[in-house]
Structure 1
Amino acid sequence: MRTRRGQGNIRRQVRTREDGSKHIFWEARPYVTDRTGMRKRLCIYGASCAEVQDKLVKLRSHQFDDFRVARLWLSDYLDTWLATIKSNRQHRTYELYEAAVRNHVKPNVGTVRLSELRRDHIRDLFERKMSSVGSRMKQVVYRILSSALTAAVEDDIIMKNPCLRKDKPRHTPGELTFLNKEQALSLVEAAKGEEHYALILLALTSGMRQGELFGLLWSAVHLDGGYLMVRAQLTKDQDGNPALTAPKASRARKVDLPAITIAALRSHQKLQEPKGPWVFADINGEPLSEDRFVRNHFHPLLKKAALPHIRFHDLRHAAATLLLAAGENVKVVAERLGHSSAKMTLDVYAHALPTLQKPATAKIDEIFSNRRLDGRLKDKQTL
């Protein structure tokens, strides 16, 4: 099929695959000239002649756009993309994205032209340049690049997204840090009489996320009923001020409370001054600062209890592993934690609890014990 002068002919191509099947596609090889005067030949493919023709029209429109795309750095485009999504992301998520772009993308591939970004750049970024970075951060960077480049395709800035799903980094679970039963009891004992005893106890007995604990309102706590509702988490808005948003799973959940925690919360509510809507508040009645609490109260408490240095969030891991080690049903644990499925709970915690294999082995041994097998053999011989 003939096209405009300089756009090249659109040709039907047939390739034979290794299995003998035929792959039919359409191809055009137009010339383009960038702003520097350099003339290049491109290869454009499509499943139909019309698809290739449409791509040629888009390509031609880009050439008349003062070659803006041809000269746009990836780092500059990501700055624009971040500004675009800022109002649609939670403050912490935006901060995570901005830091990931600043620390990992810009130093490694930021100086690549957006129009020249290829799959090889993406693979080299994850396999070589970010080889020492944790798998979670690699997944964050992949998610950023995939979303940003998809937006670039949708806005007709580039023709194809080079960030392919097959190149998505896999998450390799790291070592979880959690307290065992004796350590958890030591922490609770050390916290007795302290200002934030109820907070420590609730974290260990509920498995709530850090933001859910600090964003807890008295209106969600039903002490007479022995439960609380997790409906929100404390985050920060775009100005860095405290704000309540939906919990991570975006749905409310009920968490039943043990008697010791109910008693601690009753005492905490009675002594709390000034009275206000927040369960855990500062002297001004505002939500308790997470960073300040960890620095001024939690870390000194660990030292007092002679415990290793852990994050406050690790109390959530302790709550989960203690329940699983006690034989609690994994589905029940998943519901308390707010996980979307029991599989997610097992993926996170199963490898951290090798001792769970011992009870299972004992049960199997009981089922197939020699005594029971011998008895069955004797019964058969009698018959």
Structure 2
Amino acid sequence: MKGSIKKNKQTGKWDFVIDIGKDLITGKRKQKKKRGFKTKKEAEKALTALLNELNEGSYIEPSKQAYSDYMYFWIGIKAHEMSIQTLKAYQSYLKSHISPSLGQVPLSSLTPIHIQSFVGDLRSKELSESTIKRIYNVVNASLNAAAKTELIKKNPASTIEKPKVVAKETVIWKWDEVSSFLDSAMSSPYYVAFLLAVTTGMRQGEVLGLRWRDVDFANECLYVRQTLTHDGKGFKEGAKSKAGSRSVGLDAFTLSALKKQKKQVAECKLKLGIAYTDNDLVICSSNGKPINPRNLLRSFYNLLEKSDLPKIRFHDLRHTHASLMLQQGENIKLISERLGHSSVKITLDTYSHVLPNMQQEASNRLANKLFNG
């Protein structure tokens, strides 16, 4: 494989041309040309580097495709792997942020500087760091795919300083605060939803997507096999992750509350007849339709406003469940399985704030046995 160098009579600079193989579609010879070198030596150096890449099989023909066009194509390919909510988020990021800043840049011309400047632009819009990180992750994933399919040599987003999210301190309730909340929530139509969040650690979507067929009264457990989407308009089979599809043991109090709930649901179903929409849901409206997550949260925060309890998010009921179980000395592996974490490490990292107190209590218990026994 050879190339030729010659001086351009019109510009006075040096150019080279080289055969880079045949077009797979037309079968015609393909050539690569580079112009505008100040000296013959510069042209020879560039030609030698290109020849080495061709001989080693590492040469990638630069793509002229605009990055936004590639992104639409990539999201289209990935769509079948995503939930409707995730797909909408990706499309929104592309339309509102990615395309206006990076869309017209050719995919092969993107550099780390482009990506770093893009992250800076996102910060100038005063977006939250968590949102900036999510948008960056989409860009990074798309460029990883481009590098893997040899559209580009290297992912330009892989070398920049990645956005970081400083974890907010999690607020959890104490034993008496949980009891106080559940007492005040007893009259709420969403009482069983709040109870399940506290006693099982289920996520909001998991609670609202729970079906009666997934409640096993005989074996005193339930199975997380379906979640309600964030917009409350559909269901997703399985859980947030593969490990999220799980069984969770139930206590006698929660089982009793579920039996009462089942009786109430059956009465509504009988009363409405064919007007009842039977989704087999544990937590549902009087006509059987799923509860809008916003209505659940509105009810939750209204209850908090009327109480003297520390203000927490609904998701913090899950954190409260895990922390209280840790405090009472339950096995960390068991807790991790109840929460649907893919590894014990995630559980330990998430609830490390609880561990120092547990260490001290364990030391005191050992000392009491040793010296006061």
Which bracket does the TM-score occupy, shorter chain normalised? Answer: 0.7 to 0.9
Other-structure match for 1:314: 316
Other-structure match for 1:302: 304
Any stretches of 5+ residues in structure 2 without a counterpart? Answer: 6-15, 21-31, 37-42, 271-277
RMSD over aligned CA atoms reads: 3.7
Other-structure match for 1:95: 88
Asked if residue 328 in structure 1 is aligned to residue 330 in structure 2, the reply is yes
Match of 2:286 among 283, 287, 291: 283
Taking every aligned residue pair, what percent have the same amino acid on both sides?
32
Cα drift, residue 344 of structure 1: 0.7
Residues 126 and 349 of structure 1: CA distance in aligned 2, closer, same or farther (over 3 Å): farther
| Whole-angstrom distance in 2 between the partners of 1:151 and 1:44 | 29
Alignment of 1:194-209 (within 5 A): 194-209=188-203
Asked if residue 31 in structure 1 is aligned to residue 45 in structure 2, the reply is no
Other-structure match for 1:3: 3
- What does the per-residue CA deviation read over 1:36-56, in whole Å, with 9 as the maximum and x for residues that have no partner? xxxx99799689654566626
Other-structure match for 2:357: 355
Q: Are the equivalent residues in 2 in contact too, given 1:207–1:315 (CA < 8 A)?
A: yes
Asked if residue 274 in structure 1 is aligned to residue 278 in structure 2, the reply is no
| Whole-angstrom distance in 1 between the partners of 2:129 and 2:324 | 26
SS at match of 2:155: coil
- TM-score, normalised relative to structure 2: 0.75
Other-structure match for 2:275: none
- What does the per-residue CA deviation read over 1:257-297, in whole Å, with 9 as the maximum and x for residues that have no partner? 011101110111111222641111112211222122222x2
Other-structure match for 1:212: 206
- What does the per-residue CA deviation read over 1:65-105, in whole Å, with 9 as the maximum and x for residues that have no partner? xxx43xx2x44543443344334311121233334445554
| Whole-angstrom distance in 2 between the partners of 1:128 and 1:155 | 28
- TM-score, normalised relative to structure 1: 0.73
Q: Are the equivalent residues in 1 in contact too, given 2:230–2:293 (CA < 8 A)?
A: no
Q: Are the equivalent residues in 1 in contact too, given 2:197–2:317 (CA < 8 A)?
A: yes
Asked if residue 245 in structure 1 is aligned to residue 237 in structure 2, the reply is yes
| Whole-angstrom distance in 2 between the partners of 1:307 and 1:255 | 28
| Whole-angstrom distance in 1 between the partners of 2:208 and 2:47 | 56
Q: Are the equivalent residues in 1 in contact too, given 2:205–2:230 (CA < 8 A)?
A: no
SS at match of 2:85: helix
Cα drift, residue 197 of structure 1: 1.6
| Whole-angstrom distance in 2 between the partners of 1:46 and 1:351 | 55
Match of 2:108 among 103, 111, 115: 115
SS at match of 1:182: helix
Match of 1:292 among 289, 292, 295: 295
Other-structure match for 1:55: 59
Amino acid at match of 2:59: K
Instruction: Give the number of aligned pairs.
Output: 333
SS at match of 1:351: coil
Residues 183 and 159 of structure 1: CA distance in aligned 2, closer, same or farther (over 3 Å): same
Amino acid at match of 1:141: I
Asked if residue 223 in structure 1 is aligned to residue 227 in structure 2, the reply is no
Moved more, 185-194 or 268-277: 268-277
Alignment of 1:148-159 (within 5 A): 148-153=142-147, 157-159=151-153
- What does the per-residue CA deviation read over 1:298-343, in whole Å, with 9 as the maximum and x for residues that have no partner? 2222223333443222211111111112221111110100111111
| Whole-angstrom distance in 2 between the partners of 1:242 and 1:226 | 28
Asked if residue 174 in structure 1 is aligned to residue 176 in structure 2, the reply is no
Cα drift, residue 112 of structure 1: 4.5
Residues 199 and 50 of structure 1: CA distance in aligned 2, closer, same or farther (over 3 Å): same
Residues 368 and 335 of structure 1: CA distance in aligned 2, closer, same or farther (over 3 Å): same
Asked if residue 260 in structure 1 is aligned to residue 249 in structure 2, the reply is no
- What does the per-residue CA deviation read over 1:199-222, in whole Å, with 9 as the maximum and x for residues that have no partner? 111110000111111111100101
- What does the per-residue CA deviation read over 1:96-153, in whole Å, with 9 as the maximum and x for residues that have no partner? 3334445554565556443332113334545785497655444423321122123334
Residues 365 and 278 of structure 1: CA distance in aligned 2, closer, same or farther (over 3 Å): same
Match of 1:147 among 129, 133, 141: 141
